[in-house]
Amino acid sequence: MTGALLADIGGTNARFALAASDPSAPALLPDSVQVYAVADFPSLADAARHYLDKVGAAPSHGVFAVAGRVDGDEARITNHPWVISAERTRIALGLTRIDLVNDFAAQAMAVSLLGVGDVVPIGGVRWHGWNDSGDRTYAIIGPGTGLGVGALLRRDGRFYPLQTEGGHVSFAPNNPEEIDVLKRLSGEFGRVSNERLISGSGLVNLHRALSQIAGEDPGPLQPQDITAMAREGDVRCLRAIDVFCAVFGAAAGDLVLTLGAWDGVFLPGGLVPKLMPWLAHSGFRQRFEHKGRFSPTMARVPTLAVTHPQPGLLGAAALAAQCALKAAA
């Protein structure tokens, strides 16, 4: 028996899995994970039906984490045309209940199930896991197709994820080069958010802006082209990654200050594993800590790259468990 259908829906991929109904078993059934391209399906319901038919499961409850703002019954994927109605999707799949949440609410809840082996510290400050019962506040920020931002609070032993659209706050340049990048991007987009730089398309935007500043036309590129050329030593691609990591670190530090997340910041997202060869040796940590009078405080805050293969689904499983407990109460 399975407890719930889990989904983690981004602008590029739709990930599905099943949750265990036995509370003594792992919350997420790893062998049930399947990943599909969202472009291959006209709707979330079609993708989910394809998954259920393939695995031969008939759960009654669904927890769907989506990369966009959830407004009541409806969610719009920020970087994909899908518009999701919880009620229509529930009916189409024959479920008794669907919980629709922001994808970074799920990423935040995943932190409650992570151990020290599921993260890699960026910088010298380590995380010691859930080794006490005190109140904790963590920030979560991660680049993928877009830039997701959330938080996890533990208060009196209970976990509370915060759903935000913090990836769309305005980009704040910190040096002349970044001011030049902002000028280029504002001419293209008008308002420039952090997501315009700290995401897959953001890496492309950065590379294009830096190339234009140098009087070059880079031509059409994908994020994987830039990382591939960086591995081959391309100077412009290496610089684009350096600036990306620095801006990412600055935004992560700003988030800690905004939330009072002195216990740490977790860095999930599809782009983080791809940037690991550069992230630890970039300006990420320096810009994270570089917060004026709060620099000594920031130097004590851990920054943790998430290496768990499916944190979004793990967090959806944690939310499904919460729902089961509420239903049983």
User: Which parts are annotated binding residues?
Assistant: 7-12
Cβ atoms within 10 Å, residue 234 = 16
Structure tokens of 93?
Answer: 């799949």
Q: At what angle do helices 103-111 and 311-328 cross, to 10 degrees?
A: 80
CA 77 remoteness from chain centre: 14
Rounded Cα gap, residues 114 and 130, in angstroms = 9
Structure tokens of 304?
Answer: 């943790």
Rounded Cα gap, residues 163 and 170, in angstroms = 18
Please state the residue numbers annotated as binding site for ATP: 7-12
Say if CB 317 and CB 310 are below 8 A apart. Answer: no
Structure tokens of 263?
Answer: 């216990």
DSSP state of 149: E
Rounded Cα gap, residues 150 and 134, in angstroms = 20
Interacting residues of 188 by C-beta distance below 8 A, sequence separation 6+: 205
